[in-house]
Amino acid sequence: MLARPSSPRRSLRSSGLVACALALALSLAACTDDAEPGPGPSPTKTSKPTDKPRKITFGAYGSEEEVAAFQSVVDSFNASSTTRQVTLKSWPDHESALADVLAGNAPDAFLTSRIDLGQLVDAEALQPVSLLLDERGVDFGDRFSRDAVDAFAMDDELQCMAYSVSPMVIYYNTDLVDFDKMERRELDVPTADDEGVRDRWTLAEFEAAARFASRRGDTRGVWIDPTLQGLAPFIYSGGGQVFDDDREPTSLDFSDDNTREALDQTLRVLRDSTITPTNAQLARATPTQLFKRGELAMIAGFRNLVPELRDAEDLDFDVLPMPIIDSRATVGDINGLCISADSEVTNDAADFIAYAVSDAAIATVAATGYIVPANTQVAASDDFLAPDDEPANSAVFNASIRYMVVPPFIDQRVALVEAVTPLLERLVTAPGVLDLELTTEEIDQASRTILSPEETESPTESPTEEPTESPTE
């Protein structure tokens, strides 16, 4: 991973956690009634045959299909237990989940996004899972993405267990971007390995593919969202930085020389009206809709696009990593499973999480196509790779994880996006000649009003002196 920003007061190198996990590795059978949680006091009494099952709530968010897959995991856990009963609570997205948890309505265990972790830790809303999962034999060392696990380490603890990770990649229409045909015409194309797999490409090859796809009719080659998230992979790949500090940012860093150079190269492609959608096209359909209709050859996106694209009629697609300017880089999101600090059934919640990240359970959710499992065994299996379904090159998601740049924690993230998005749209889509120096300075200045408002306020003026009374005439 190119960078692993985190709050300086909480930063943790998780090697100790990994060593501890390996040393204490037990069996996941701790998730069943036959093997109750290991050392450590249980907050609940041991159930007797006449006792009612202990109630556990689990919260998850996502599409209807994702929630249905989580329900099947819950059902499987319940079927194996006579002493615990899990009930699923769902939200439409992570923002709704975060609001509920911070309002004091947290389920015993719940799914969260890594971008919300700082707020959850500051609110003391979490029970660290390090020892709890160690006791249950969860193998942090070999069976889970080290980058994903590290992302949830804070305050010398693993706050949540990494569950899924989704790096940004390029989706392309394989009919419109025909690399074999391009190669025969001696155009720039990404090199294929011995098995015919293309797993990396340059910005020049990316541009060539966009121009090839735009050669006929109204079909356009590429669209990248003019947002911080959309531009970040290109900036990082070109040696620039999105933020002025990767731990406690006070500004965006778009006016940095390296960032401007990366943007200059990128915008030569993204601002070319002959290969990007017209205003008329974007007025009648979203870029994803245009892609599904075969009117747009390439878009950037995450793993959750896969089921929607699989359902599109007459669409053949595959994926490639984000294009390279100087080095490989991308961005994305990491999800984890957490335990509420207010839970009265902590051990039972830990049992459920240990079960939920097991191979069999996470394979159920991975098979929906929406997630890239942090469980590396499942990520390398047919449950995720789905060799009979598109995209054929799903391994690109796994390979891209190590190049993800994890952003710093920003409580004002929504406000920051709202402040700079109009300027980013101008940067990418405004017609005419672009003043890159002026626009990047304006972007950084707008970000400071959110990230360091105290430094952007006008200097305090000296108190106005009281007027001197005129002498009486």
Query: How far is CA 279 from each of CA 270, 282, 412, 431, rounded to the nearest angstrom?
Result: 14, 5, 31, 11
Q: Could you tell me if residue 406 is inside a domain?
A: no
Which amino acid, residue 332? G
Q: What pLDDT is stored for residue 458 in this prediction?
A: 53
Residues 297 and 367 in one domain: no
Is 204 part of any domain? yes
Q: Is residue 8 part of a domain?
A: no
Task: Please state the separation of Cα 383 from the chain's center in Å.
Answer: 21
Please report the pLDDT score of residue 122 as a whole number: 95
366: CATH = 3.40.190.10
In-domain check, residue 365: yes
Quote the Cα angle for 278-397-305, to 5°: 45
Same domain, 146 and 197: no
Look at residue 197 in the predicted model and tell me its pLDDT. 85
Same domain, 258 and 191: yes
Per-residue confidence (pLDDT) for residue 456, from 0 to 100: 66
- Is 282 a member of any domain? yes
Domain for residue 10, yes or no? no
In this prediction, the residues of the chain whose per-residue pLDDT falls under 70 are 1-50, 456-473
Same domain, 244 and 323: yes
Question: Residue 98 is inside which H or E element, if any?
Answer: helix 94-102
Helix then strand then coil, % of the chain, to nearest 5: 40, 15, 45
- Identify whether residues 262 and 173 lie together within a single domain: yes
**26 contacts 16 by C-beta, under 8 angstroms:** no
Residues 159 and 275 in one domain: no
Residue 44: predicted pLDDT: 45
Beta carbons of 417 and 227 less than 8 angstroms apart = yes
Closest to 318 measured CA to CA, from 379, 249, 390, 373: 390
- Global pTM reads 0.85
Domain around 149: 15-165+333-397
Q: Is residue 459 part of a domain?
A: no
Q: What is the pLDDT of residue 142?
A: 81
Residues 6+ apart with CB under 8 A from 195: none
In this structure, are 40 and 156 located in the same domain?
Answer: yes
Residue 86 and residue 34 in one domain? yes
Q: Are 98 and 113 contained in the same domain?
A: yes
Q: Does residue 246 share a domain with residue 201?
A: yes
User: By C-alpha distance, which of 251, 256, 254, 228 is closest to 453?
Assistant: 251
Express each pLDDT in 186-237 by its tens digit: 999 999 888 888 889 999 999 999 999 998 888 999 999 999 999 999 999 9
Look at residue 7 and tell me if it is in a domain. Answer: no
**pLDDT (0 to 100) of residue 26:** 35
> In this structure, are 71 and 178 located in the same domain?
no
Write down the residue that tokens 């379904």 correspond to: 389
Please check whether residues 134 and 229 belong to one and the same domain. no
How many structural domains are present in the chain?
A: 2
